[in-house]
Amino acid sequence: MILHQYLIIAGLTLQLFDYGQDLLVGGTDTSALTVEWALNELLKHPRLIRKATEELDRVIGRDKWVEEADFSKLPFLEAIIKETLRLHPLATLLSPRYALEDCTVAGYNIAKGTTVFINTWSIGRSSKYWDSPEEFIPERFLGKDIDMKGQNFVLLPFGSGRRMCPGYNLGIKLIRSMLANLLHGFNWKLPRGMKPEEICMEEHYGLTTHPRIPLAMIPEPRLPVNLY
């Protein structure tokens, strides 16, 4: 009886550990890659990085770092994140779904027992849903109520429903905090002699989607020295 109880407790502990591991893996590596893609796009479009730092200076000022309470006051930063996840979703295919019964979705007949994969990369680059889908235009999200929690099926970087990414809350907070403070705290430059149009935006596909050629970036402090 005691052994049986111990095994139950041990099994529960392992399940909790596995879930916690899912949260950390789902919310850290992918967050860092999203910030990397965002910086790549911003350095490729200097106009956008200027617009982002102007918003940060106006809302935050140059006497402190960006905090979680500030995120709701930074709509252009949020638009940059959404546009990055639209154009560069870290998981090109969402977790597979299994049809429990015959159904029809968007005019397609799906038989019971079918395994369904949703290609969020293709959705994000479809001219059916987006104007100029191959271009990085954060302004397309300003003034529009398009969330990233799976309620708007044109933007599904974290999936939707009960099989949504378990690391969503951790991941999105990390992305907002990292990107906001990297832009607020530093001026970012390309290596000497490199032009924005020379930045390679090709993707390397795997479990997550990386830039094929990592970009070297040069940071310069832009806040008072006592903040570093």
Residue numbers belonging to the annotated binding site for heme? 165
Residue 125: exposed, middle, or buried by beta-carbon count in 10 A (0-12, 13-18, 19+)?
middle
Type of residue numbered 65: W
Query: Given the structure tokens 């005691």, which residue do they identify?
Result: 2
> Could you give the count of Cα atoms lying within 13 Å of 119 in the half-sphere of its Cβ?
5
| Integer angstrom CA distances of residue 164 from 55, 97, 193 | 31, 11, 43
Residues composing the chain: 228
Q: How far apart are CA 192 and CA 195, in angstroms?
A: 9
Nearest CA to 168 out of 151, 144, 148 is that of 148
The helix-helix angle for 168-185 and 29-44 (nearest 10°) equals 40
Residues making up the binding site: 165
211 forms beta bridges with 203
Q: State the residue for tokens 């299994």.
A: 98
As a 3-state breakdown, the chain gives helix, strand, coil percent values, each rounded to 5, of 50, 10, 40
